[in-house]
Amino acid sequence: MTVPARFEGEEEDTRLSTASSVSQSYLRLVWRRFRRSVPGMFGLVLVAMLLIGSLFADFFAPINPRQPSIAFAPPDEIGFCIPDQGCGLRPVAFPITESEELDPVTFQPIVAPDYANPRRIVFFAQGWEYRLFGLIPASRHFIQVEDGSPLHILGTDKLGRDIFSRGVVGSRISLAISLISIALITILGTLLGIASGYIGGRFDMWFQRFVEIILAFPQLPLYLALATLIPVTAPSFLFLSFVVLVIVGLGWAQLSREVRGKTMALARVDYVRAAMAVGAGDWRIITRHILPNVMSHVIVAVTLGIPTIVLLESFLGFLGFAVKPPLISWGLMLQDAGTFSVIGSYPWILSPVGFVLLTVFAFNALGDGLRDAVDPY
């Protein structure tokens, strides 16, 4: 007995609506579990703040990150009380000034807060000019000093550049390298892992030998060796692209092996075997049955893999193999802390480590929360 086309269309709509409702209910269940995770929600808030801060870095930077000032100036003292004037609700900053006396160890002028000239801190005030997203001219900043003088929240480096402003602006490069690299690693590792696990046979055998060769190399020396292949005089875009390619070329193998194992396990599940028995095509089986079940593991692996790439980029930048001036990154900023004498005399030069640790903690907490929400068992 043939079924009228009208009823066939209604039956197809019913199946699609049922599948959509099941998918939505699963996402709601994951979100409900994720909301119960305090570290996961805390990590989500921190990640959102990091991404917003990197997108609007110039807005949150109180000083032009390339503007020189007093070298190795300590952080400005910020408080709510002014000597001999009492306390208030508006914060004030005491500028760092140089005295005529010299430090007996470094023979540099002694710098100290000037309590006689407090400066009012204001929010959403006019400051140095920049272009929002590289297009829109703007000069308003989140935090400024009322009289327009510099505000060094974390002090300055050896050239007198503000560390806090450079850290905020440098998050663009560091996070961009990490996110682009992890996106390419996810696409490449997922596709090759599914193909290897689903096809099997000789292709899987030879492909796994290739993956084992990549994983057998010591990662860090190989990163350094490949990073030295590009000339130092190469343009910044070409240099960054090569760094991303090096990270992706050595980072996809581990994810592909994990996805291959999940794919081989899913290929033995009853509903996948039933789909094969009724004659469903390979593309339909992969996209409708295998890929959705693999993505839960991939999302968690990606979230937990971002901190590794952030640390790797910072390490390569510290050694001078990732980013070159005039670009700014956290690893490049840490080059100023390369000697113990500098760290001992100017400990605030290690402030960029705080940006790296905050990013690593945020993505690790988010990944732990997602892992518990996606697979509570």
Tally the residues of the chain. Answer: 377
Q: Among 147, 152, 96, 84, which residue's Cα sits nearest to residue 120? A: 147
Write out pLDDT tens, residues 119-151.
888 888 888 888 888 788 888 889 888 887 888
Tokens 């272009």 belong to 131
d(CA 70, CA 161): 8
d(CA 146, CA 143): 9
Write out pLDDT tens, residues 261-305.
888 888 777 777 787 777 777 788 777 778 878 887 888 888 888
Write out pLDDT tens, residues 318-364.
777 777 777 888 888 888 776 666 777 788 888 888 898 999 899 88
Domain containing 132: what range?
A: 76-151
Mean pLDDT is lowest, of 39-48, 220-229, 353-362, for: 220-229
Q: What is the pTM of this model?
A: 0.81
d(CA 164, CA 349): 10
d(CA 291, CA 263): 8
Residues 6+ apart with CB under 8 A from 138: 58, 59, 129, 130, 131, 132
Q: Are residues 49 and 185 in the same domain?
A: yes
Q: How many domains does the chain have?
A: 2
| Domain presence at residue 348 | yes
| 82 dihedral zone (left: phi>0; alpha: psi -120 to 50; beta) | beta
Say whether pLDDT at 3 is over 50: no
Cα end-to-end span (Å), the chain: 47
H or E element at residue 34: helix 5-35
Give the model's confidence band at 13: pLDDT under 50 very low, under 70 low, under 90 confident, else very high: very low
Q: Are residues 47 and 90 in the same domain?
A: no
Q: How far is CA 301 from CA 72, 132, 256, in A?
A: 40, 33, 11
pLDDT of residue 26: 67
d(CA 58, CA 272): 51
Q: Once rounded to an integer, what is the mean pLDDT over residues 183-211?
A: 89
Q: Are residues 324 and 249 in the same domain?
A: yes
Q: Are residues 38 and 117 in the same domain?
A: no
Say if CB 164 and CB 157 are below 8 A apart: no
Say whether pLDDT at 10 is over 50: no
Q: Are residues 145 and 173 in the same domain?
A: no
Q: Which of 250-254, 324-328, 371-375 has the highest mean pLDDT?
A: 250-254
Q: Are residues 255 and 352 in the same domain?
A: yes
Q: Of 122, 151, 180, which residue sits at a domain end?
A: 151
Give me the half-sphere count of Cα atoms (radius 13 Å) on the Cβ side of residue 67: 16
The residues facing 130 across adjacent strands are 138
pLDDT of residue 340: 63
| Domain presence at residue 43 | yes
Say if CB 88 and CB 118 are below 8 A apart: no
d(CA 73, CA 234): 33
Rounded to 5 degrees, φ, ψ at 121 are -95, 130
Q: Are residues 203 and 254 in the same domain?
A: yes
Q: Of 151, 181, 203, which residue sits at a domain end?
A: 151
pLDDT of residue 12: 44
d(CA 62, CA 3): 70
pLDDT of residue 127: 85
H or E element at residue 302: helix 291-319
Q: How far is CA 25 from CA 29, 114, 269, in A?
A: 6, 61, 22
Give the model's confidence band at 6: pLDDT under 50 very low, under 70 low, under 90 confident, else very high: very low
Give the model's confidence band at 8: pLDDT under 50 very low, under 70 low, under 90 confident, else very high: very low
d(CA 63, CA 59): 10
Q: Of 94, 126, 151, which residue sits at a domain end?
A: 151
Q: Are residues 257 and 311 in the same domain?
A: yes
| Domain presence at residue 1 | no
Mean pLDDT is lowest, of 17-26, 55-64, 90-99, 204-213, for: 17-26
| Domain presence at residue 24 | no
Say if CB 190 and CB 287 are below 8 A apart: no
| Domain presence at residue 220 | yes
Q: Are residues 317 and 220 in the same domain?
A: yes
| Domain presence at residue 15 | no
More confident site: 85 or 129: 129
Mean pLDDT, the chain, whole residue set:
80
